Amino acid sequence: MESNAGTLETRSNRTALEREEVAALESLQFTDEIHRLMSAPATDNASSFTALLELPAPQAVQLIHSPDSAKLIAAPAPNVEDLKGGFHFPSNGGLIERAARFSVFAGEGNNKSDSPEATSNNSSANLPKAVKSEPAETESSQPLISDPTAENRGIKRKDREKVKGQTKKSKTTVKESSDDAEKLPYVHVRARRGQATDSHSLAERARREKINARMKLLQELVPGCNKISGTALVLDEIINHVQSLQRQVEFLSMRLAAVNPRIDFNFDSVFTAEGVPPQYLKELLITSGSLMDSNFSGMVMPMMWPEVQPNSNRQQYLQQLHFDAFQQPVWGREEVCNNYLTPENSLLSYDSSANSGNFLDTLNEST
């Protein structure tokens, strides 16, 4: 039971340190064990630390998002102050009772500035009871407080393999998800049963897990890759897919260039020369309208065509476009033309004959 408690403690250390997006599978496994322990009568004589952690550990799965869980153990930099603030266990009377019983916390309120030392003393007091891997834990918890800025360094639990009585060994990895701004300083990896615990191989394995997770995403994206097993063949399919997409882009751009050799993309001369009706523009609006805003296209369509001359309409439209483009001349700028829709909306109210002169002037200025 003590070994279980010891491992529970270390394991729950790990749960509190995990990032939010770590596999729920891990936490499920933890909660299984933890529930088992919870249902047993409270082993108060066992390491106080673990008893304290018995409650928060299952709730750590839900509390991972809250800063409270981070207070339990040495935490990354943003939570160090919380840690120093003391242990605030969320409303749990039974836990507070248990906390009150132990010497470390007896007579204290919640806030103690030397609670980190208290915890370390506590855990070191549990050394004889707990598993011998305990010192690895405490020693590593100290550098955690002092060095929170390291990113993704692995703490390798070399001693874990020697712990007996663990039926479940789970592997914990930290995914680098780029859309999460938080940075956890350490990657905690537990070795699988019967596998090497060399630090290099552990890092290798973590990396491979990351790669495999992303390969699965790629397999779902590329059609027809689900049934294939084996990295090389999947990569083959991905390469083929990318190549075919690139070739399609080439082909389509050639086709667009060839659609009408006399269409220059100002649309002006073509439409005047051939008298190509508003059909082209209509299609363009339909496609872009369906892409952008269906309401917009529905609005523009009925009102554009009753206006006087198709050519001048188009000119107005395109010159408005050009005008907007002129306002934001730089490609890489992130502000997209936000008023893209409004000039076209304003076109609706234009009297073409009155305003065509103005637009032609602007066009001449820009050229």
Partner 1 sequence: MHLPHSTLKQEFVKKWIMGLQRCKFSNNNMSIFERKKAIKLSADTAMASARKGLTCWSRALISNPDRPVPTTTRRASLACKKIVKRSRRIRRTAKCGAARKRQITRSIAQCLVRKRTQILKSLIPGGEFMNEVCLIEETLDYITSLRVQVDVMRSLASASVRASEPHN
* Residue 110: Cβ within 10 Å count: 13
- For the record, the structure tokens of 43 come out as 């082993």
> Cα(309)–Cα(271) distance, rounded to whole angstroms?
12
Residue 264 contacts partner 1 per CB under 8 A: yes
Tell me which of 284, 303, 308, 348 binds partner 1, using CB under 8 A. 284
> Cα(106)–Cα(48) distance, rounded to whole angstroms?
12
Residue 299 contacts partner 1 per CB under 8 A: no
The DSSP result for 88-126, as a single string, is: ---S-HHHHHHHHHSTTTTT--S--TTHHHHHHHHHHHT
| Window 142 to 181, contacts with partner 1 (CB under 8 A) | 176, 178-179
Residue 20 contacts partner 1 per CB under 8 A: no
Q: What is the closest distance, in whole angstroms, from the C-beta atom of residue 5 to partner 1 in the complex?
A: 37
Q: What is the closest distance, in whole angstroms, from the C-beta atom of residue 269 to partner 1 in the complex?
A: 8
Residue 196 contacts partner 1 per CB under 8 A: no
Q: What is the closest distance, in whole angstroms, from the C-beta atom of residue 244 to partner 1 in the complex?
A: 9
Burial class (CB in 10 A: 0-12, 13-18, 19+), 253: exposed
Ranges assigned E (strand) in the chain: 153-156, 186-189
Burial class (CB in 10 A: 0-12, 13-18, 19+), 323: middle
Nearer to partner 1, 291 or 354 (CB): 291
Tell me which of 167, 331, 351, 365 binds partner 1, using CB under 8 A. 331
Task: Tell me the three state secondary structure of residue 186.
Answer: strand
Residue 261 contacts partner 1 per CB under 8 A: yes
What single-letter DSSP state applies at residue 33?
Answer: H
| Window 218 to 247, contacts with partner 1 (CB under 8 A) | 218, 221-222, 230-232, 235-236, 238-239, 241-243, 245-247
Interface residues with partner 1 (CB under 8 A)? 176, 178-179, 207, 210-211, 214-215, 217-218, 221-222, 230-232, 235-236, 238-239, 241-243, 245-250, 252-266, 269, 274, 276, 279-280, 282-284, 286-288, 291-292, 318, 321-322, 324-325, 328-329, 331-332, 334, 336-337, 340, 367
